[in-house]
Amino acid sequence: MRICPAIPRFLRTFHNSVEVKNRFAATVTPILRRFEHVISRNVWTVVITLSLLCVAAAWEPSPSYSSPQATKKAFHWPAGKRVAVSLSFDDARLSQIDKGLAVLDSTGVKATFFVNPGGVEERLEGWKRAVAGGHEIANHSVSHPCTGNFPWSFHNALENYTLEQMSQQLDTANAEIQRLLGVHMVTFAYPCGQKFVGRGRQMKSYVPLIAEKFMVGRGYYDEYFNDPAFCDLAQAGGTAFDDMDYIQMVKYISQAAEQGGWVIFVGHEIGEKAHQVTDATALAALCKYLQDPAHGIWVDTVESIGKYILQQRGGQGE
Ligand SMILES: [Zn+2]
């Protein structure tokens, strides 16, 4: 029987290495015993130091998640104005025509009304006067879909909408208002300030739909005013001012003026101050304040200010 020559070579090497190991142990053990107390005292120091060295060697800096850098662009309002303000009112509420129009027209301020066709039909002649008076009429959908968590929107819940259905809402409202008032609407306000359809993994934002169909899409209950050089016009911030008094309104505008912002106020009913009712007296005082040249305010419709921003950006709304 032939034996592979590698096997005896391996056995010889193994035997030799065992012998070397024994000899090494015989030499080193007495030395270790002699310094045993020193070693045991320092063993933890050595272990800890070695561990730290290993960790340091193995450590790689984690990838840095730096935020995208944006360059602040210069933006100037026309005629040296410091701030822009739009007054907007939603839902085509009756008091907007019955009470609000007279207040606005007596001061010359032009507002934006985000309407639903049904509300317009209830005061059709009044809305025609609003158009003739230079106010902007804008889209607020046909049936005002919001989350079904509001009991009144349970059967018209955004959670059950598709983008196609939402698109139909927008187109139908455009066509209806065109028929009733002869105006082509170019801005939109999200009902309830909500910008989604569907739910969970099927949920979709309908902001891109608004960007496609309108120049400006306005939100509601946003905690900021718009930076004209930066804001996404498809989701411009809207500030509720129904519940503010005159002093609060002026204070908010002064804050925006410090940063050259654009405030879009959002109201509903117009009359005596209450929940979702803009105080008519405060509104009259505010309009006077807005038009005083000393304050450097450009007050105009969402459409006019949106158009100016778009032009300044070379057509880039997003
Ligand atoms: Zn609304």
Q: How far is the CA of 59 from the centre of ligand 1 (A)?
A: 55
The pTM score is: 0.79
Q: Is residue 148 in a domain?
A: yes
Are 91 and 21 within one domain?
A: no
Are 123 and 268 within one domain?
A: yes
Are 166 and 233 within one domain?
A: yes
* Mean pLDDT, residues 189-210 taken together: 98
SS3 sequence, 39-57?
Answer: HHHHHHHHHHHHHHHHHHH
pLDDT at 291 over 50: yes
Q: Is residue 215 in a domain?
A: yes
Q: How far is the CA of 79 from the centre of ligand 1 (A)?
A: 33
pLDDT at 3 over 70: no
The continuous run of DSSP H or E covering 266 comes out as: strand 262-267
Which domain, by its residues, includes 34?
7-58
CATH number of the structural domain spanning residue 299: 3.20.20.370
Count of structural domains, the chain: 2
Q: How far is the CA of 69 from the centre of ligand 1 (A)?
A: 36
Are 287 and 219 within one domain?
A: yes
Do residues 280 and 103 make contact, with C-beta atoms less than 8 angstroms apart? yes
Are 89 and 223 within one domain?
A: yes
Higher pLDDT, 258 or 6: 258
* Mean pLDDT, residues 279-291 taken together: 97
pLDDT at 96 over 50: yes
Q: How far is the CA of 114 from the centre of ligand 1 (A)?
A: 8
Are 51 and 82 within one domain?
A: no
Residue 73, pLDDT score: 79
Mean pLDDT for the chain? Answer: 87
Residues 6+ apart with CB under 8 A from 56: none
Q: How far is the CA of 49 from the centre of ligand 1 (A)?
A: 67
Residue 274, pLDDT score: 86
pLDDT, tens digit, 9 for 90 and up, residues 134-180: 999 999 999 999 999 999 999 999 999 999 999 999 999 999 999 99
Residue 31, pLDDT score: 55
Are 99 and 229 within one domain?
A: yes
Residues 6+ apart with CB under 8 A from 32: 39
Distance CA 172, CA 185 (A): 12
Record the tokens describing residue 224, joined without a space. Answer: 């900021």
Residue 71, pLDDT score: 75
* Mean pLDDT, residues 216-223 taken together: 97
Residue 14, pLDDT score: 45
Q: Is residue 71 in a domain?
A: no
Q: Is residue 221 in a domain?
A: yes
Q: Is residue 69 in a domain?
A: no
Are 124 and 203 within one domain?
A: yes
Are 118 and 221 within one domain?
A: yes
Q: Quickly state the pLDDT bin for 297 (edges 50, 70, 90).
A: very high
Are 27 and 135 within one domain?
A: no
pLDDT at 75 over 90: yes
Are 50 and 164 within one domain?
A: no
Per-position DSSP letters for 78-99, written without gaps between them = GGG-SEEEEEEEETT-HHIIII
Are 33 and 167 within one domain?
A: no
* Mean pLDDT, residues 205-214 taken together: 98
Higher pLDDT, 276 or 7: 276
Q: Is residue 143 in a domain?
A: yes
First vs last Cα of the chain: how many Å apart?
86
pLDDT at 231 over 90: yes
Q: Is residue 70 in a domain?
A: no
Q: How far is the CA of 6 from the centre of ligand 1 (A)?
A: 90
Report percent pLDDT > 70 for the chain.
79
Q: Is residue 118 in a domain?
A: yes
